[in-house]
Structure 1
Amino acid sequence: MENNINQAVTAFKNFIENNLNYHVLSVMSFDDYKSFVVKVFALLNELKSMGVTKNEIYSFINKHYSNVTSAADENDILFERRFSAITEDIIEFCANPLFWSTDFDVYMKKWDKLFATDWCKKV
């Protein structure tokens, strides 16, 4: 069982490294971004269901955040908003509800509210 968890965590980290980066995220349409957010948190919810904790993901996301922001175009405000919204929610440097302590459906209502605003659509 632990091998399955390790494989799932590794697959999640690879997915994040390959997709949650400047080159991919900066060219996403709003609809693609919405789908991507849902996929990220659905995958993370599967890990949470397996018993993976925030602490097991925290250092990876912090390191990834630093690597991506150092390589990103600092003038791309929309990218920064979108990228930070995802990463800050994973490490819980954000407003309630918090992902790691909230039912998934309740948590995703937070994103539905954000998607309804222009904040992650345009600058």
Structure 2
Amino acid sequence: MIERVATCRCGQLRVACTGDPIRVSVCHCLECQKRSGSAFATQARWPEAQVEVIGTASLWSRAGDSGSLSTYRFCPACGATMAYVNEAMPGMIAVPVGAFADPKFPSPRFSVYEERKHAWVAVLGDDVDHQE
């Protein structure tokens, strides 16, 4: 079975994910833009049983645009967000795709909050579900 390991920038915090992700998505909401420092965020989700967080993580929570609570695990040394859970998707853990540093990572199949998408951004693919 495939295992993917995401690491923070300093390497202190790692997230090991077993198997293929259940969902890979791009989010254009303003909070994800802030979290990623980019015009969007790309994340992959696995069932909690297939994810192991290794190292010391700090936690921070906030209500999202939908009103549901998200709790983030980030490295207390370098500040990188490494994993998060959202009440709207119980039993699932999301990991930022960039933390895997793998250009061959599976492409997103969902693009959400597109009403907040920057005009110059295009999420391509015949099988992408585009949601406002």
- Greater per-residue strand proportion: 2
- Name the TM-score class by shorter chain: under 0.3
TM-score (norm 2): 0.26
More helix by share: 1
